[in-house]
């Protein structure tokens, strides 16, 4: 026999249910169903769908619910469930509610999932008081992380193992950022946001991460960007025209087909190093006709589907470095070229 649910917690759960509407269309998950619909006043809350109780004390330690619509505010009875260790409210629609500062009451929380739930506004500073948190998922809300910022979050929550902030606006914290490197973190996932004009970003280095999605055209707004390295990521598309880059590395992504037409303007670019190895690119001869031979220092195209004959670059500008790696078209259509200045 297990202890029955505590009366005050059962009452708090019923109040939470009654403060919101049950609406199946509020959920962003096709398989979701309204767990709270089966809750009854005269039942043992430890047997309710989506409620988990401690086997010894009977306290509510887990809550998971979906298909809820309405607002959550500071008076919500949710924050009376002070023994909660796991709270999953993902996929609801809380109507642009801010996360109340009373979340500090849930100091025993280990896992917090509020993803895709219609929250908005600043993530409250009181979340830093949830020092036992191991996992947080705030994905795809209209949230921003400014005060506290990302640095304060990771410094305060030292037990964190999983942190999902996709779609959370943290850019306002770093208006003067010039160098951003997150290289060689294979378990770091995410996608690139839309970039606004006025950024001072000069180097964006994401090599060896698991960033994916399409490269936004708004990268063109980064007028100060000189180096863009997303080698060994999972981007299936080229970036838009960039005439101010000095280094572009798209090695080992999922690029396929012809090299895009904007490379036709390469003669006006500042590009010195270009690496597109390990993709599925074609259009070899046309590509070499438009290379900016007067600026390019390093070119790497090996392990693509390029075939054809290699033209000779203007001898007054470049010579092939044949003593070491040289320029070779292998039977597998692999090409590696390195150039050096006269």
Q: Domain of 148: which CATH number?
A: 3.80.10.10
Looking at the fold, whether 218 and 115 belong to one and the same domain comes out as no
Is residue 224 one of the residues assigned to a domain? yes
Is residue 150 one of the residues assigned to a domain? yes
Torsional class of 70: left (φ above 0), alpha (ψ -120 to 50), beta (otherwise): left
Looking at the fold, whether 143 and 207 belong to one and the same domain comes out as no
| Cis ω before 148 (30° cut-off from 0) | yes
What residues make up the domain containing 181?
A: 173-341
How big is the chain, counted in residues?
342
Task: Indicate the SS3 state at residue 197.
Answer: coil
Q: Grade residue 338 by pLDDT with cuts at 50, 70 and 90.
A: very low
Confirm if 302 and 342 have CB atoms less than 8 A apart: no
Looking at the fold, whether 150 and 49 belong to one and the same domain comes out as yes
The single residue listed with the structure tokens 């309405």 is: 70
Looking at the fold, whether 18 and 97 belong to one and the same domain comes out as yes
Looking at the fold, whether 138 and 282 belong to one and the same domain comes out as no
- The pLDDT of residue 339 is above 50: no
- The pLDDT of residue 11 is above 90: yes
- The pLDDT of residue 123 is above 60: yes
- The pLDDT of residue 138 is above 50: yes
User: What distance in Å separates the CA atoms of residue 253 and residue 278, rounded to the nearest whole number?
Assistant: 7
User: What b/e readout covers 101-128, taking b as 16+ CB neighbours within 10 angstroms?
Assistant: ebbebbebbbbbbbbbbbbeeebbebbb
Is residue 2 one of the residues assigned to a domain? no
Parallel, antiparallel or unpaired: strands 335-341 and 298-300: antiparallel
C-alpha closest to that of 274 among 266, 262, 264, 282: 266
pLDDT digits (tens, 9 = 90+) for 91-107: 999 999 999 999 999 99
Q: Grade residue 268 by pLDDT with cuts at 50, 70 and 90.
A: low
The burial of 200, by beta-carbon neighbours within 10 Å (0-12 exposed, 13-18 middle, 19 or more buried), is given as middle
In degrees, rounded to 5, the angle at the alpha carbon of residue 93 between the alpha carbons of residues 125 and 160 is 40
Q: Write the CB contacts of 136 (distance below 8 Å, at least 6 apart in sequence).
A: 112, 113, 157, 160, 162, 163, 164
Looking at the fold, whether 55 and 129 belong to one and the same domain comes out as yes
Q: Grade residue 285 by pLDDT with cuts at 50, 70 and 90.
A: low
Last residue of a domain, one of 136, 164, 192: 164
Highest mean pLDDT among 78-87, 179-188, 287-296, 312-321: 78-87
- The pLDDT of residue 37 is above 60: yes
Looking at the fold, whether 245 and 313 belong to one and the same domain comes out as yes
Confirm if 281 and 306 have CB atoms less than 8 A apart: yes
Mean pLDDT of 269-293: 76
- The pLDDT of residue 332 is above 60: no
Confirm if 340 and 321 have CB atoms less than 8 A apart: yes
What pLDDT score does 319 carry? 40
Confirm if 299 and 305 have CB atoms less than 8 A apart: no
Is residue 135 one of the residues assigned to a domain? yes
HSE-up of 197 (CA within 13 Å, CB side)?
Answer: 0
What pLDDT score does 174 carry? 65
Alpha-carbon Rg for the chain, nearest whole angstrom, is: 27
Domain count, the chain: 2
Looking at the fold, whether 156 and 223 belong to one and the same domain comes out as no
Is residue 200 one of the residues assigned to a domain? yes
Q: Which range among 29-33, 44-48, 152-156, 322-326 shows the weakest confidence by mean pLDDT? A: 322-326
Q: Grade residue 59 by pLDDT with cuts at 50, 70 and 90.
A: very high
Parallel, antiparallel or unpaired: strands 51-53 and 60-64: antiparallel
Is residue 67 one of the residues assigned to a domain? yes
Tokens at 286, concatenated: 């046309």
User: What distance in Å separates the CA atoms of residue 136 and residue 164, rounded to the nearest whole number?
Assistant: 6
Looking at the fold, whether 320 and 227 belong to one and the same domain comes out as yes
Q: Write the CB contacts of 267 (distance below 8 Å, at least 6 apart in sequence).
A: 290, 292, 294
Is residue 260 one of the residues assigned to a domain? yes
Last residue of a domain, one of 164, 183, 202: 164
- The pLDDT of residue 26 is above 90: no
The single residue listed with the structure tokens 């500073």 is: 125
Last residue of a domain, one of 164, 196, 230: 164
Identify the helix (H) or strand (E) that includes residue 275. Answer: strand 273-275
């Amino acid at each position: 026999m297990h202890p029955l649910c505590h009366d005050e917690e059962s009452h708090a759960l019923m109040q939470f249910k009654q403060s919101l509407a049950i609406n199946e269309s509020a959920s962003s998950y096709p398989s979701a169903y309204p767990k709270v619909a089966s809750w009854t006043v005269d039942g043992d809350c430890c047997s309710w769908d989506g409620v988990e109780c401690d086997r010894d004390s009977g306290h509510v330690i887990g809550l998971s619910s979906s298909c809820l619509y309405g607002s959550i505010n500071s008076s919500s009875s949710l924050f009376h469930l002070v023994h909660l260790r796991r709270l999953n409210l993902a996929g609801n629609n809380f109507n642009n509610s801010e996360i109340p500062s009373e979340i500090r009451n849930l100091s025993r929380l280990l896992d917090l999932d509020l993803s895709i739930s219609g929250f908005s506004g600043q993530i409250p500073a009181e979340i830093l008081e949830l020092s036992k948190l191991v996992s947080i998922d705030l994905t795809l809300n209209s949230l921003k992380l400014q005060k506290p910022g990302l640095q304060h979050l990771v410094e305060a929550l030292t037990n964190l193992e999983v942190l999902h902030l996709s779609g959370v606006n943290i850019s306002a914290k770093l208006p003067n950022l010039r160098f951003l490197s997150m290289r060689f973190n294979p378990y770091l996932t995410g996608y690139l946001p839309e970039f606004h004009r006025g950024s001072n970003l000069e180097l964006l280095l994401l090599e060896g991460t698991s960033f994916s999605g399409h490269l936004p055209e708004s990268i063109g707004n980064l007028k100060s960007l000189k180096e863009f390295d997303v080698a060994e990521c999972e981007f299936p598309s080229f970036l838009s025209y960039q005439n101010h880059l000095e280094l572009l590395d798209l090695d080992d992504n999922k690029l396929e087909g012809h090299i895009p037409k904007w490379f036709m303007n390469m003669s006006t670019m500042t590009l010195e190093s270009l690496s597109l190895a390990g993709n599925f690119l074609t259009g070899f001869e046309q590509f070499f006709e438009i290379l900016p031979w007067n600026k390019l220092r390093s070119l790497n195209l090996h392990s693509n589907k390029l075939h054809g004959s290699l033209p000779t670059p203007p001898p007054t500008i470049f010579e092939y470095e044949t003593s070491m790696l040289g320029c070779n078209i292998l039977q597998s259509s692999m090409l590696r070229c390195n150039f050096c200045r006269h």
